[in-house]
Amino acid sequence: TESTRFASVKRIVEQDLGRPISEVFRSFEEEPLASASVAQVHRAVLKTGEEVAVKVQKPGVDQVLQADLGFLYIAARTLEFLSPELARTSLVDIVAEIRTSMLSELDFNQELRNLETFRNFLDKNGLQSKAAAPRPFPEASSKKVLTMELFKGVPLIDLEGIRGYSKNPEATLINALNVWALSVRGCEIFHADVHAGNLLVLEDGRVGFIDFGIVGSVPPAIWSAVEGVTIAFVANDPQGMAQNLIAMGATGKVDEAALAKDIASVLARIAGLETEVVLRGTGDGRVRAQVALDDEQVTELLLEVVRVTDQNGLKLPREFALLVKQALYFDRYNKLLAPDLDPLRDARVNLGTSIAGSGSIASSDVIDV
């Protein structure tokens, strides 16, 4: 995504923090480390000496998003009114989820609270040696500016880069999966956007979770069905998935056999996805192998799952869409980094079922890398 000029970035930072940029930061790099549709990230050093990443919201993005997403939501509600048959589908719920998620991304104060919540979860359960989330700096943050610890590492799909930081990439993947799954059950929030850019292997071998703009939480009422769907998905069991999906979102009589047949076709598509290794040049003239992970392909599969459930008479809770998308990402990471790993039968993998009501986690849920 095209980046915003530094003059605009500097103006936003100073206006939102209420101070000149030189009073907050010892240095602030003009070229962004990364740029997306909502914000861009700059490397900086605080006056107190900490090296940080500063996420700055792009100018005018809030007005554009609110107008566009408001129109999209109204259009979906209108379609539902004109066609009552749509009322039993998840169309409006999906649009509402997109709208809620994207608008929540505009408030960096909320993302800061999300970071603190996830970091507390890691600390409470003794997981800091296996996973990390950036430390936020509230005194240098605001609604449109988020200053946090700068993580140094490589994306989870950088095959060669991972080997430089982890002796056992498979174990690193298992730790990422275990920590995320445990957070779904044992934390107030779970990371709901675990694409490759948001999962890093840090220089010390830990898994780094970044960008907590989109998070989710699972209502207790549907937890049992969610667990059942997860286990059935990993086991490639369409019948089991159908039974648990019906328990989660049936709005009337559902043909379980027909639903299972449709789910089987979706699982076949997922199993048939090909892994592509891409060779990319680095700045020092070396060539590095990375795995191509198509975000659009993952989204397309998610929409296919929603379509199958809709046409079979199910109206699923919006949180389920978030979970399915993350499950699809981890399924791809499994195939890329540990193709021989069976998450359902490997004793090292814990899909979140060991968390008791107290939120305690067994030490065996994470492994050395």
Half-sphere exposure of 256 (CA within 13 A, CB side): 9
d(CA 245, CA 242): 5
Catalytically annotated residue among 193, 262, 310, 331:
193
193 in active site:
yes
d(CA 278, CA 286): 14
313: left (phi over 0), alpha (psi -120 to 50) or beta: left
Q: Which two tokens stand for residue 247?
A: 């328990």
Q: Which two tokens stand for residue 184?
A: 């779904």
The values of phi and psi at residue 342, to 5°, are -105, 100
CB 369 within 8 A of CB 168: yes
d(CA 126, CA 128): 6
Secondary element (H or E) of residue 334: helix 318-337
What is the set of active-site residues? 193
